[in-house]
Chain A
Amino acid sequence: MTAPFASLIRFYLRAFYGFSDAARVPLPPGTAAGTKAARAKRILATIGLALLVILVVGDIGFIFGASYAAMYAALAPAGLQSLLLLNAAISAALIAFVVGFVTALSTYCLSPAEGSLLALPIGPRALFGAKFAMTYLADAALSFIMLAVAALVYGLGERPPVSFYLYAILVALASPLVPLALAYLLLVPIMSVSRFLRNRNVVLVLGGILGAAAALVVNFYLQNSLARAGDAAWIIANLAGPDTILARLGAVYPPAGLAARALAHAAAGRQLDALGAAALALGMGAAAALAVVLIFGPAYAASLPAFGEGRLKRIAKSDTAAYIERSFRRSPQLAALFLREWRLMNREPVYLINGPLVIVLFPVIIGITMAASPEAFAELEGVAHALGGGPAKALIAAALAAFLGTATSIAATALSREGRALPYLKSLPVSARSFFGAKLLHALVFTSIGTVLGAAAGAAALGLSVAETLAALAMALTYGTAFDLSALWLDTAYPRLVWETPTAALKQNPNAVIAILADMAALGGLGYLATRLSLGLGGITALYAGGAGLIALGLALFFPRYAEKRLGDIEL
């Protein structure tokens, strides 16, 4: 038996991350799920997930590591290296607040059914405390990486005692507590007084927009840090001295100053001072979290039921006949299927933000990257030159276009998104060819939009000729078509149909992750291959567009038969 509070945290974590206890629960012997093959599949999936986590953590760690290493190299000669720790503590707190606020908003009510938790014998403070804990665990990861990397960089240079690293872990865990408490301090009163915001759609859209904005801010911060990494004078001017932003933030936000002081004391071997500062930092964090949970728990719980309220728009009785007369019109079956795909994708905020909107978001991120470090343009030109000129520019534009066109996850989650509605769809007189044809068409529309946007951006950035632009477009479009068909095949073979929230169908769908990783690997591989082939623009276009076109044709020929059989086999 688990205590209700711990059980509640586990429930929230499962709902948020899509965790399951499948690995722990013994499966009945003799069932398919209990066979060695099924177990091997689960182990493989776990290894895949672990690799992905390592990749993401390694990527983020590398970016922060490069930035902090440059900072240390600039500050150490002046004996100001401890400012690195203050910078990391403040940056971690700021990012924890931004990410924490967005996460707290997006997960304020995970599903309309969450209000039913109020019927359980759980106090409002326990309910809010569990939600706080869930958000904390999501939020702590990033600030933990930031502080851990900073401590490592500092430690490599200063050779501090082992206790320094223990304090680093302690302050890293304490770091998100105050920012998250502040986030909820703002959020709960806003949600309590605003009827408009207590709507899951509004929250999801707002959370998505703020999330995108936060990602852009973090991206700008990272790009800017990396761009200034080699500028020692700039680093000293902005980090050292009593009037710098760093010094002012350290003064107004004591937990960061205490965290940095604890680490500096620990590095210098002043254990008692380190313990005092760390205990104060942790105490402030815990007190802030506890105070927010205790004070705002009842208000949080009171605001939950409104998320489950429906808002029905009634037509006047006298108008219904006219409404029906003008609203019901016949469409061809394929058009109706396509329209259904379009509407269901674009009206579900989780799908929209992580699917079609990616086409808009990526160029904005690239734009910000370029704005933060304009020399990246020149680097791109340099890469093209290093690749031997010729079709290199067109290939870079094609890769950009292809990646943008295939980044929406529409095809890779096409069947999974049906979820429990699939049995109903299977009862309709619709052929697998039409059913999947509409899904492919839906994916191809966004692939085409992304490809054209990417090719246009690439052409503008690299100054491509019309012939080069058309070649890039041809390569990217054929690649995108082959990719969409492959991704659709993947999701048809291994759909994730049992889910409670749409997040699980798209964001937490392994097929989306596999597709995007395979996409990156394929584009990288094709780029490398191009450097070995030494073909002209015409030759490489014929090879890549022709090859991708042939693969797409082959998939299009064999997929319908497979899809029909597979659809019939799916048991739900």
Chain B
Amino acid sequence: MIHLEALSKTYAHSGTKAVDGLSLDIRDGEIFGFLGPNGAGKTTTIKMLSGVLRPDEGRVAIDGIDMAQKPLEAKARFGYVGDNPELFTRLKAREFLNFIADMYRVPDDARCERIASLAGRFEIADALASPIGSFSRGMKQKLCLVASLVHDPANWILDEPMVGLDPQAAFTLKELMRSRAASGRCVFFSTHVMEVAERLCDRIAVITKGRVVFVGTLDELRDRRSSGGDESLERLFLDLVEDASGGRV
């Protein structure tokens, strides 16, 4: 369960207000899609949500634990896949996964079992002895996905997780998202791919210029747009963003 309350962030270096009074509640057992055009504030929101950036205003709580008050406890409650899979290329995949498992204090048996299962599903088990630097972009992304689940978190936060994945891995990821949500866990991810959001998400939020302009189900979006029920999410999304931008996308 993720709670974001009136989050705002202005970058000190550029003076850009990236997120402006954003509030969201993501429930357990749902897949929540976070949509928005480039530069809308998706990654900034995810970074605040994952404790990477400190909000100027507002509050983040993971399973009721306040990120500002108890950051380590809050961080232990989620798995995070960031927007940059180019991590620690000098480490071997095994060393990276062991390191992440150590950070979450995962016992030996559990880490072996989860890594065997996840690395098998993403088809990187045979590459675990290799340096990450020798991996392709997609393999690095798969490795980050495996690492994010090594402690079997209650919440899964992913920033553009489909980027670089082959169709098989993208399918596996979607299956994993569904199975985690079905077992009562929370999945929060950002994406540009409307088809993925349309087929996968229980609810979506659309953000543009740092503000949430819609939260709800796809049907609710269609009702709100009075579109007659058969318009694609892509069309609805573009209309929504165009309206929020004052007629320009």
Contact surface of A with B, Cβ cutoff 8 Å: 28, 30-33, 310-317, 320-321, 323-325, 327-333, 335-336, 339-340, 343-344, 347-348, 420-421, 423-424, 426-431, 568-569, 571
Contacts and interface: CB of A to CB of B under 8 A. Distances in A.
Given A315-B126, A343-B90, A330 B134 contact: no
Interface string B62-100: 000000000111011000101010111011001101111
B125 A310 contact: no
A336 B88 contact: no
Contacts of B166: none
A320 B42 CA distance: 38
B129 A323 contact: yes
B105 A333 contact: yes
Interface of B: 11-15, 47, 50-54, 71-73, 75-76, 80, 82, 84, 86-88, 90-91, 94-95, 97-108, 111-112, 115-116, 119-120, 125-130, 133-136
A320 B14 contact: no
Given A315-B128, A343-B95, 10 more contacts: A328-B108, A331-B102, A333-B102, A333-B103, A336-B98, A336-B102, A340-B88, A347-B91, A429-B72, A430-B72
A330 B71 CA distance: 23
B135 A31 contact: no
Contact of B13 (A31, A324, A421): A31
Nearest to A565: B54
A101 B229 CA distance: 69
A399 B100 CA distance: 40
Contacts of A315: 125-129
12 contacts: A310-B133, A311-B134, A313-B127, A315-B129, A324-B128, A329-B98, A336-B98, A344-B91, A424-B84, A429-B72, A429-B73, A569-B54
Contacts of A31: 13-15
A314 B126 contact: yes
Nearest to B16: A31
A313 B129 contact: yes
A430 B106 CA distance: 14
B90 A428 contact: no
Given A333-B102, A336-B98, A429-B76, A320 B125 contact: yes
B104 A429 contact: yes
A38 to B, nearest CB: 9
Given A310-B133, A429-B72, A424 B82 contact: yes
Given A312-B135, A315-B128, A336-B103, A420 B14 contact: no
Contact of A328 (B12, B84, B97, B136): B97
Nearest to B144: A424
Contacts of B88: 340, 344, 421
Nearest to A201: B133
B90 to A, nearest CB: 4
Nearest to A29: B15
Identify the 9 closest CB pairs spanning chains A and B, nearest first: A336-B102, A310-B134, A429-B75, A347-B90, A429-B76, A320-B125, A427-B50, A427-B80, A423-B52
Contacts of B47: 423
Contacts of A33: 13-14
A323 B127 CA distance: 11
Contact of B103 (A316, A343, A420, A428): A428
B128 A323 contact: yes
Given A344-B90, A426-B51, A316 B126 contact: yes
A31 to B, nearest CB: 5
Nearest to A428: B103
A427 B90 contact: no
Contacts of B84: 420-421, 423-424
Contacts of B82: 423-424, 427
Contacts of A348: 90
Contact of A327 (B54, B75, B98, B99): B98
Contacts of B98: 327-329, 331, 336
Given A312-B134, A324-B116, A330 B102 contact: yes
Contacts of A426: 51-52
Contact of A427 (B12, B75, B107): B75
- Most chain B CB within 10 A, of A347, A426, A427, is at A427
B13 A32 contact: yes
A420 B86 contact: yes
A324 B106 contact: no
Contact of B52 (A333, A343, A427): A427
B91 A568 contact: no
A328 B52 contact: no
Contacts of B116: 320-321, 324
Contact of B127 (A312, A328, A569): A312
A188 B142 CA distance: 37
Contact of A428 (B14, B15, B75): B75
A427 B128 CA distance: 23
B99 A336 contact: yes
A289 B38 CA distance: 47
Contacts of B73: 429
A316 B129 CA distance: 11
